[in-house]
Structure 1
Amino acid sequence: MSDFVPQMSQAMLNRRTFLYTSAAAAGAVMLGSCSSGTPSGSKETKAPTGGSTAKGSETKPLSKPAKFNEAPMLADMVKSGDLPPIEERLPENPYVIPHKWAQPGKFGGQALLISKPGTGGPVDGSVKEFMYGYSLLRYLNDGLDIGPGLVESWESNDDASEWTLHFRKGLKWSDGEPWTTADIMFWWDDMVINEDHSDVPPDEARSGKGTLAKFTAPDDTTLVLTFDAPTPLTADRLAMWVNGTVGNGPKWMAPRHYAEQFHPKYNKDVAKDWAEQGKEFELKVDWSRNPDCPTMTGWKLKTLNEGRSVVYDRNPYYYVVMPNGDQLPYLDQLNFSMVQDPEVGKLQAQQGKVDYIQGQFSDIGLADISTMKNAESTSQLDVILWDGGSGTSSMFFFNYDHKDENFRELIREPKFRQALSLGVNRTEIQKALYFNTGELTTGTLSPKAIEYLVNDEGKTVYKQWRDSFVEHDVEGAKALLDEIGVVDKDGDGFREFPDGSKLTVRLDFPADTDDEHKSKNQYLVADWKEIGIKATQNPVAPEAFGDQWNAGELSAHSAWEVGDGPNHLVYPQWLVPLEPSRWAPLEGQMYNVRGTPDEKKQLNVDPFDRTPPRMEPDPDGPIQKLWDLYDQTKVEPDEMSRHQLVWEMVKIHATDGPFFMGVVANTPRVILAKKDLGNVPRKENLALGGFANPWIHPTPAVYDPETYFWQKPEEHEI
């Protein structure tokens, strides 16, 4: 069977190459006209419906509107006495939408959306990526800038060891109860610090030394975070994620007035059976699963039919308005249908049964553009392309801490990894899977990262990493393998370990991974055969993958991408091993326990037998160097000095890497939006053309879908 698999893979590869290349001819014609929604042959740039061709977002807060306007359904509730006037529902200074492309819209109607079934819970995380209402601060201009959110203004002391956050006065939960800093202190004291709960301290609550901040709330709208060391990235990290619920970032707050009744500290009846009630508490304070839980998002949960649908209604107390005073959201309702079969979702889109699809959360990709364009007259969907911002597209990386000593020694030899990178024909993969979009890359963090855009030196450092081992050089790859003694000793056409034992590169991946990654793996198998390396694909049960990887039992990971940004330090786990899920799991786990009692335990035990498995880095090796540089960045208050430290880490990747390998960077994401859905930005409206892939730069939340509106709301009534 082992001899048959590569032959079958090659046959599948040849057929897939033909099919994709044929499709690329049609798809490439479509790509050029999709991002603006401009009809083929048109010379006019089509702006977002009801919008403008303006680019980017204002970086300074906009002035408070002179008056406020509200949805007719809310105005009726005010007249009937069921709702306070809008002036009493909004904070003293609402958040005013700063996006230059967003224009005044119309109130009313619902949007029909689709999502994947929930993973790790009844609601898929993608549903919550539409709502940025819990963010203390907000990313603007594709992460280049940070603006206010719930926090109206903020400052730090000179060494960034103390941060003072001033929240908007008069904020209210969706049930009309006042929001105060007591809601943050409840989360911190009674859910994070209290070990009976599952919440853990977020990164932004730790100092540069890794110790927890001290939280104090001098009054209802002021929060002070005091650290034992400079913590200059606090503002950046407060803008990450959408926050507020399970997954998608930390909660950062909970409605104390509602949650106390379910907490044993405040309700003694609950305390009698906390082992069982604790699970119930987590549900009760999750606004994405419990319709009764108050929220700070633009829409509040109405109904959840697990595995089938989730519906959100407008929040009458949402604290965000348009510059003309319109209280958001414009849409009355978001109605998500959960689709099990990706092909069913595509068919629904073609038939016009879906109003909006956010590409990175669906199975609609570049290969579907031609089909969607052909169905445009029926679907009434514009095909829009935003930049994804990936640094790799589908990637590959070895387990640097592999349990087998012989294999681990080879994996840690840079020339072995460099040879395999040179052996990849990225141009063919770019053509077949990505329709000639993006830029060829060895594999980096996102090319949109601030460190690469700040000046010419940053641009040069990025290109050095991107191009370090990107060339398809079969003879160069063979020469490197010969140099380290990885040669064909038994004459079977495949190279062996230096000691003569059989060598097979196993491409491990979770069995439920997307076809994109499996297709890319087929190319790797074929390309590496050309340089004498035998490779096979190995699906692993998804529930077992993480534990096996962390223990060094898997050889390689081949089903992820690197999309992180907007700077290297807010989420640096690809740049430097800090935890076990990436390219050096045992060393990452060792960093993860630094400063804890576990750091000094089991040092006389084999690293793979420790609990959890963990390993010290070579004191003279690249990981120790990366750790040392990263530790400096955590306490460096000067931004340019931090950039320079990041560049030094990048140079280690360019010389001692690749520690992970990509194919192409910054491939587009497909967005589908009904033609009469206004304020959906096009690529030319966005500061960097979009930054859709990273969850820490939550998309579309950063572009405020609450501004989306129907030109004719009456045609989309609930």
Structure 2
Amino acid sequence: MRKNLFLLISVLTIFSTLLVACGPTEAPTEAPTEAATEAATEAATEAATEAATEAPSKYHQAPMLDSMDLPPVDERVSDEPMVVPVVESIGEYGGTWHTMTWWDEAGNFLMTIYDPPIRWKADYSGYEPGLLVKMPEWSDDGKTITMTFRKGLKWSDGEPFTTADLKFWWEDMALNEDVGFNQVPWWAHNLDGTTPITMEFPDDVTWVLKFDSPQYIMPYILAQGFWEWRPLMKPAHFLKQFHPDYNAEATYDELDIKDRFWQTPGYPCLMAWCLEEYKAGESWTWTRNPYYWKVDEEGNQLPYIDTVEIEMVEDEEVRLLNTAQGKYDMAFRATTNPTDIPFLTEQAEAGDFHIQPGWMNGAGAWPGWIINMDYHEEQEYDPTTETEEAVEIRELLRDKNFRKGLSVALNREHLIDVVWEGFAEAKNFTISPQSPHFASPEGQELFKEWAEADAEYDPDEAMAYFDAAGFVDADGDGWRDLPSGKPFTLIIDQGDWGGEKVCIESNEVYKQDLEAVGVKVLINDLIGQPDWGIRGDNGLFMLRNTHASELDLWTYPDWIFPLRGAGEGTRAFPMQGAYYSSGGSLGWPAEGPALKLQQLYDQGKQLPTVEERDKIIWEAVRVYIEEGPFVIGAAGDQPMPVVIKNNVHNVPEFGVLGPWAPGSPGNTYPEQYWIEQ
């Protein structure tokens, strides 16, 4: 029997939250408002009068800082601190947040210490200033972007954070060809895709970026979790001692190692907690930043929690058991499988925790299969030696009838029963349902059409589509052959993108469905194998497993716009994307739908308003509906088992953990979470 009760509750929660998200929402102010400042001042003055032992203070600090030799808290929170609204209540200082990770870079915790210049709002409805004191400003022609940081920001060791740190990153790291681990990011190129833009640093708080064409997207790219801001976050006063340009005895290899703030205790940081202790492969200890630049509405310097202890647990079953036993105070990604919800619910009372309602994966396709529109057989592609069979397979994969047949041959409802035990909704590939691109009624209608396109299980229609593509059984052996009559086997590269168990079970279901309509299938198990990356990066696969989720297609465009090739950008057009990102030195020139999509992205990033850019997104989605599918999706928007101890407060009842861009739960202000002592 389907276990849809929890899913129904989650969906209703999401629906109501999205309705709220479409309208005005409460968000942190860029700097203390007059009312907030007056309230904080009055509260501080009253406390000082009662104590009669210290001068009036506008702000307050955690007790653990009282014994430290530090400047007054008023001097440490910056001249223009961000005021963060609390979810439930003003918190208590203290406590240790026990949690876990399975990435050697403490990856899922880096999604918690989320403090870029511009940040996602907690309700996912858009952006707001973070380290910046106000939103960026554009020149009249849209080619120059000016960003202004809060005055008085300091690194965790008390040294000023200024644009000199960004200048060090740009001139001594990004533009330095000897620093191979930190190069010019993809967004910092002009329209040709290869020439770096111009950056200027006129004073301590002003950062100016100059492009050769209008560019209204770039600042929001920095809001992408920890992906895009992390490479820029360079404390020059600390790193210069390891940089060969400033220390003749230093090496670039040493600089690479010391620049890893998640592995270097004492590395100055700008986040709520900074690394104090690191045991490779075992644990991390992060402690509060005494110079953190955020306060609550009563003038209390954040964070509330003193320390974060993270243990390394690679085995998912062990993480699940630890979570069920109440070992973690907050666990956002200890398990990502909604089928674990019933088990965790049974253990909640004994473990003194609860499953926080309203947290979703945000998946647009989980599981999904990317169809390679640029299939070829050789890593070093040479069109003069390419086999006729490889060309024919690529043409078949590019045939819309063939791809539609692959989609309607899939029995999504059956797959959901087998893989998700009912905890999902059948749909085709999309991005995250919570995306603000589709918040309007017109946008939601288009999103619904996209999700439903070619998603109805119909094996007879699948066979008709295959017949129309010339993909028929030419020799009577029961298997469909290439249009030339040559035998064909559809190879599905099996990885663990979206979870090993999910991929294995989903591939078996899909294989059975395809074989039922005459498609011979081979599952190429590449879990844990180098060939998974090699075949994906170089466009050597036919189909491959995927998990698709994203909120903003301008800042994380790869799911729709083929702008990059190998690595993170590998999707349905790996070679045509590589051509775009390399300025024509790699890959193949774009044509057909890929060219349309690249042109739409170039057009959209030059438009100054959200409304104009959303309409470009809708045009791109229309390409996917009318000329796709390019990715096969089976299900989406599953609930996520977020486990919170009962003495933890201020965790919101809505969140989206699948997409990388918003850095969840970081966008929900973990610095205002607190532990009741």
TM-score of the superposed pair, with normalisation by structure 1: 0.83
Closer, same or farther: CA 35–425 of 1 in aligned 2, 3 Å: closer
- AA partner of residue 152 (structure 1): V
Residue pair 2:428, 2:454 contacting (<8 A) in 1 also: yes
C-alpha separation in 2, matches of 1:576 and 1:500:
34
Could you give the per-residue CA deviations for residues 504-547 of structure 1, whole angstroms, max 9, x where no partner exists? 11110237952111111111011112211122211125323222
Select the residue among 417, 420, 431 that pairs with 2:406. Answer: 420
Deviation (angstroms), 1:490: 2.9
Deviation at 1:483, TM superposition (A): 1.8
8 A contact 2:7–2:639 mirrored in 1? no
What is the CA RMSD across the aligned residues, in angstroms?
A: 2.3
- Equivalent residue, structure 2, for 1:521: 507
- Following superposition, the deviation at residue 439 of structure 1 comes to 3.6
**Offset of 1:196 from its aligned partner?**
1.1
- How many residue pairs get aligned? The number is 624
Letter in 1 for 2:114: Y
Describe the shift of the 1:381–1:166 C-alpha distance in structure 2 as closer, same or farther (beyond 3 A).
same
Query: What is aligned with 2:121?
Result: 140
Counterpart for residue 587 of structure 1: 576
Q: What is the aligned partner in structure 2 of residue 482 from structure 1?
A: 467
Contact 2:100–2:310 (Cα < 8 Å) also in 1 = yes
Change (3 A) 1:470 1:673: same
Tell me, what secondary structure is at the counterpart of 1:217?
strand
Q: Secondary structure at the residue paired with 2:640?
A: strand
- 2:65 alignment counterpart: 74
Residues 618-671 of structure 1: CA distance to partner in whole angstroms, max 9, x if unpaired? Answer: 3xx222222222221232234333222222221111111000011123222221
Task: Rate the CA distance shift 1:399–1:56 in 2: closer, same or farther, 3 A.
Answer: same
Q: Aligned partners of 1:342, 1:188: CA distance in 2, in Å?
A: 39
Please state how far the C-alpha of 1:141 moved relative to its aligned partner.
4.0
Tell me what 1:411 maps to.
397
Per the alignment, residue 48 of structure 1 pairs with none
Superposed structure 1 runs of 4+ greater than 4 Å apart: 29-37
- Is 1:228 aligned to 2:212, yes or no? yes
Change (3 A) 1:332 1:141: closer
> What amino acid is aligned across from residue 696 of structure 1 in structure 2?
A
Aligned residue type for 1:130? T
1:375-386 → structure 2 map (5 Å cutoff)? 375-385=347-357, 386=359
Give 1:338 deviation, angstroms.
0.7
Give me the whole-angstrom Cα distance separating, in 2, the residues matched to 1:672 and 1:470.
33
Q: Distance in 1 between matches of 2:610 and 2:644?
A: 39
> Contact 2:126 / 2:436 at 8 angstroms: preserved in 1?
no
Aligned to 2:675: 710
In 2, the alpha carbon distance for the partners of 1:551 and 1:371 equals 41
Q: Does 1:510 align with 2:524?
A: no
Deviations 1:351-383 (A, max 9, x none): 222211113xx3342111111111112211211
Q: Are 2:338 and 1:366 equivalent residues in the alignment?
A: yes
Alpha-carbon distance in structure 2 between the residues aligned to 1:238 and 1:117: 22
One-letter amino acid of the counterpart of residue 258, structure 1: F
Query: Once the 2 structures are TM-superposed, how far is the Cα of residue 398 of structure 1 from its aligned partner?
Result: 1.9
Within 5 A, what are the aligned runs for 1:400-549? 400-403=373-376, 404-453=390-439, 455-510=440-495, 514-540=500-526, 541-549=528-536
Post-superposition CA distance 1:219-274 (Å, at most 9, x none)? 1111111221111113322322225xxxx65422311111111112222232xxxx
Q: Which amino acid aligns with 2:65?
A: L
8 A Cα contact 2:122 2:669, kept in partner: no
Query: Which one is further off, 174-183 or 488-497?
Result: 488-497
Distance 1:319 1:346 in 2: 35
Q: Is the 8 A contact 1:426 1:664 kept in 2?
A: yes
Give 2:248's aligned residue: 268
Aligned to 1:652: 623
Structure 1 gaps of 5+ residues are 1-20, 38-44, 46-53, 271-276, 602-611, 684-689, 713-718
Query: Conserved in 1, the CA contact under 8 Å of 2:396 and 2:402?
Result: yes
Is the Cα contact below 8 Å between 2:274 and 2:287 reproduced in 1? yes
- Name the structure 1 match of 2:113: 131
Q: Which amino acid aligns with 1:635?
A: Q
Q: Is the 8 A contact 1:511 1:542 kept in 2?
A: no
Matched, 1:571 2:556: yes
1:174 maps to 156
1:355–1:32 distance in 2 versus 1, CA, 3 Å: farther
How far, CA to CA, are the matches of 2:347 and 2:130 in structure 1? 39
For 2:672 and 2:93, the matched residues in 1 are separated by 10
Once the two structures are superposed, the pairs formed by residues 278-297 of structure 1 within 5 Å of their partners are 278-297=252-271
Partners of 1:91 and 1:169 within 8 A in 2: yes
Query: Where do residues 571-650 of structure 1 align in structure 2 (5 Å cutoff)?
Result: 571-580=556-565, 581-594=570-583, 599=584, 612=586, 614-618=587-591, 621-650=592-621
How far apart, CA to CA, are the structure 1 residues paired with 2:428 and 2:235? Answer: 47
Could you tell me which residue of structure 2 aligns to residue 256 of structure 1? Answer: 236
Inter-CA distance 96–202: structure 2 relative to 1 (3 Å threshold): farther
The 5 A counterparts of 1:336-351 are 336-351=310-325
1:30 to partner: Cα distance: 4.7
Query: C-alpha distance in 2, partners of 1:626/1:492?
Result: 40
Q: Which runs of no fewer than 5 residues in structure 2 stay unpaired?
A: 17-22, 42-57, 377-389
Match of 1:58 among 27, 35, 52: 27
Contact 2:330 2:643 survives alignment (8 Å): yes
What CA distance in whole angstroms lies between the structure 2 residues aligned with 1:130 and 1:330?
14
Tell me if structure 1 keeps the 8 A contact 2:275–2:287: yes
**Structure 2 Cα separation of the partners of residues 207 and 321 of structure 1:** 38
2-side partners of 1:691 and 1:634: how far apart? 25
Matches of residues 150-165 of structure 1 in structure 2 within 5 Å? 150-153=131-134, 154-165=136-147
Give the aligned partner of residue 49 of structure 2: none
